[in-house]
Amino acid sequence: MTRQSLRTLCLTLLLTAATTPVLADDLKNAVGGGLGGAAGAAVGGALGGSTGAVVGGAVGGGAGGAVTANKKERTGAIVGGALGGGAGAAAGNALGGRTGGIVGAAAGGAAGSALGGNVSRNNYADDHKNGNRGKHKGHKKHRHDD
């Protein structure tokens, strides 16, 4: 092993160890979005060529994110998985043909689903902390006006 490859390996392991706790909560969203994006791109590519792969990657990424996300994360995981799956399939098709489209849709759907779920969960937490009820601000159920 050369010195350069050893340095690259150490840097990769260090970055992976640093980012793993951040992504631990979103791992199931990433798996769902990635598997859905890959399956959608494969089916879409078989039925409609490169355009079908992009559409299939988007639909599959969104569906995979929806299946694996909980209530607080679902909207963000769907939108992120769809955008990531479609964009990944388009980039993969341009760079690596049909197989590249499937791999790109998987990577994009996984990243988009994880990121979208994380953003959605954080927004939900911001809206509901300190007794804030989201849409129903200021409407308390139990009040005595004597």
- pLDDT above 90: residue 133: no
The pLDDT value recorded for residue 87 is 93
Q: Which two tokens stand for residue 82?
A: 């769809």
pLDDT at residue 41 greater than cutoff 90? yes
Q: Is the pLDDT of residue 22 over 60?
A: no
C-alpha closest to that of 57 among 86, 29, 15: 86
Average pLDDT over residues 38-52: 91
Q: Quick one: how far is CA 37 from the chain centroid?
A: 10
Q: What is the pLDDT of residues 54-100, one digit of tens each?
A: 999 999 999 999 998 888 888 999 999 999 999 999 999 998 888 89
The mean per-residue pLDDT over the stretch 23-29 comes to 72
